[in-house]
Amino acid sequence: MARKSSRFYKTLEKKSRRNLVISVIGIIIILGVLFKFGIPLFADISFSFGQLFSGKEDQTTVGKIEDNFLPSPVLDQTPLATNSAKIKISGSATPEKKVELFLNGKSYDRDEADEDGEFTFNITLTEGENLIKARASDDKAESDFSETHIITFKKSEPKIELEKPRDGDNFAVKNIEVRGKTDIGNRVTINGFWAVVEGEVFSYNLELHDGENEIIIQAEDDAGNKKEQKLKVRYSP
């Protein structure tokens, strides 16, 4: 009887140890699986919830920003220079929003864009450079300024200072140089042909015909102002 009891307790002790080992292994496996899948999954779920709630808040904020946002007007292309003080400025903005035009940093005029978003202003330029920009507004918001356009108003005619030849000169050679000075940036023609312009100096090699020759020098600036000078020379071979 004592031997059976001893054997029974030994068997029970072995089973207990085996069960303990199995339990420990099971716990280790569960912890491993949890560490590999459970924690990232939990983090993903937490992140998703966070994004869900923060997303709602962000959308609300974005909605408020969009409600108070007005895009800047866009001005149509304008000339870089003009010889007319009166000029039309057109562009596009948010339909039926107020548009304010600024000339040289000061408010010049106000109007409302039509149902297609188009607007037009008639302005008077001052001599020299004119800086033009616009912005839109309503009761809730005001846009940034549009891109600034610079228009130069020139009303003076270009300069022509002819160095050679002189009116009434006589030549025994058929080819002569017509040379002089004008304002930088001007275009110059000699009898309708383009002269070479380098800085202020223009020049052109002109072929004469027998007898009297009329030479027409014309200078034009980027605003369209023109000046013409005529002279006559004689070729006698």
Residue 228 and residue 220: Cα distance in Å, rounded?
9
Residue 68 and residue 142: Cα distance in Å, rounded?
8
- 46 and 96 housed in the same domain: no
Given 133, 153, 173, the domain boundary residue is 153
What is the DSSP secondary structure assignment for residue 73, as one 8-state letter?
P
Q: Is the pLDDT confidence value at 53 over 60?
A: no
CB 117 within 8 A of CB 95: yes
Residue 115's pLDDT band, with cuts at 50, 70 and 90, is: very high
Residue 237 and residue 209: Cα distance in Å, rounded?
10
Give the pLDDT of residue 183.
96
Q: Is the pLDDT confidence value at 46 over 80?
A: no
pLDDT in tens, 59-102: 444 444 456 789 999 999 999 999 999 999 999 999 999 999 99
Given 105, 121, 153, the domain boundary residue is 153
Residue 139 CB burial class (10 angstroms; 0-12, 13-18, ≥19): exposed
Residue 204 and residue 218: Cα distance in Å, rounded?
12
Q: Where are the alpha helices (DSSP H) in 102-212?
A: none
Domain count, the chain: 3
Q: Is the pLDDT confidence value at 17 over 80?
A: no
- 227 and 176 housed in the same domain: yes
- 101 and 144 housed in the same domain: yes
At 189, list the tokens: 């023609």
Domain assignment of residue 4, given as a range = 1-67
Give the pLDDT of residue 24.
62
- 62 and 79 housed in the same domain: no
CATH code of the domain containing 138: 2.60.40.10
Residue 21's pLDDT band, with cuts at 50, 70 and 90, is: low
Residue 141's pLDDT band, with cuts at 50, 70 and 90, is: very high
- 84 and 49 housed in the same domain: no
Give the pLDDT of residue 233.
98
Average pLDDT value for residue range 118-128? 97
- 41 and 78 housed in the same domain: no
Residue 232 and residue 52: Cα distance in Å, rounded?
88
Given 67, 96, 114, the domain boundary residue is 67
- 138 and 178 housed in the same domain: no
More confident residue, 32 or 198: 198
CB 70 within 8 A of CB 97: yes
pLDDT in tens, 158-196: 999 999 999 999 999 999 999 999 999 999 999 999 999
What is the DSSP secondary structure assignment for residue 93, as one 8-state letter?
-
